[in-house]
Chains A and B, each alone.
Chain A
Amino acid sequence: GESVGLHLPTLSVQEGDNSIINCAYSNSASDYFIWYKQESGKGPQFIIDIRSNMDKRQGQRVTVLLNKTVKHLSLQIAATQPGDSAVYFCAENPGGSQGNLIFGKGTKLSVKP
């Protein structure tokens, strides 16, 4: 999602529910995508990645979906827990430039116990 200034999009879910966080990426040449989780006072933590030759990848409690037609990425978190509360960023690698990730503006996930 988009944000204006300091106002991050926020997703509020009940503990145990599934969460879906969406992201629109910018570069049709991007061939690698990553989701990061950032807790307050910490650096981004790797969650899951996907290459452009795939449209779905699953990890532990997380699934990433990639729709290249509309340049859309989503992160699904199953059975969301209070420890999942954080800001989530999608990032894209614009083709062949390892390490030069372009980050989205982030979505704040709040999990209510």
Chain B
Amino acid sequence: DAGVTQSPTHLIKTRGQQVTLRCSPKSGHDTVSWYQQALGQGPQFIFQYYEEEERQRGNFPDRFSGHQFPNYSSELNVNALLLGDSALYLCASSTLGAGNEKLFFGSGTQLSVL
């Protein structure tokens, strides 16, 4: 039973570029949440997808967008990258439909913006 998987594991981009990160939830999970973790900080909530719709959003600009597919996998897109977007991007899955709040995290994508 695979856990939460994310790709790629590392990525280097330059300012102004766009990036797409991918996540496959744990088997049986229907909800995907994305978090940004800056070095030395706790993860910060970006947004959550359930039933292919964005259900909740944290305090992140519109440059951050996402998508959820019918198979529950998800993408995080960031446009017009800034140096400050360099961080570890974590995907977490859960079973919102079953009212389960416990999040299971992937190992993340380390994004470096130069």
Contact B102–A49 (Cβ < 8 Å): yes
Contact B42–A105 (Cβ < 8 Å): yes
Question: Measured between alpha carbons, how far is A97 from B33 in the docked complex, in Å?
Answer: 12
Contact B42–A100 (Cβ < 8 Å): no
Contact B4–A97 (Cβ < 8 Å): no
Interface residue count for B (Cβ, 8 Å)? 28
Question: Measured between alpha carbons, how far is A93 from B100 in the docked complex, in Å?
Answer: 12
Interface of A is mostly: loop
Question: Measured between alpha carbons, how far is A42 from B6 in the docked complex, in Å?
Answer: 11
Given contacts A8-B40, A103-B43, contact A44 B90 (CB under 8 A): yes
Interface of B is mostly: strand
* In the complex, chain B residues 10-57 whose Cβ is within 8 Å of any chain A Cβ: 31, 33, 39-45, 48, 55-56
Q: Give A residues with C-beta under 8 Å from B.
A: 3, 5-8, 32, 34, 36, 41-46, 49, 89, 91, 93, 97-106
Cβ contacts A to B, 13 pairs, < 8 Å: A3-B40, A32-B101, A34-B103, A46-B103, A49-B102, A91-B42, A98-B94, A99-B33, A99-B92, A99-B96, A100-B45, A103-B43, A105-B42
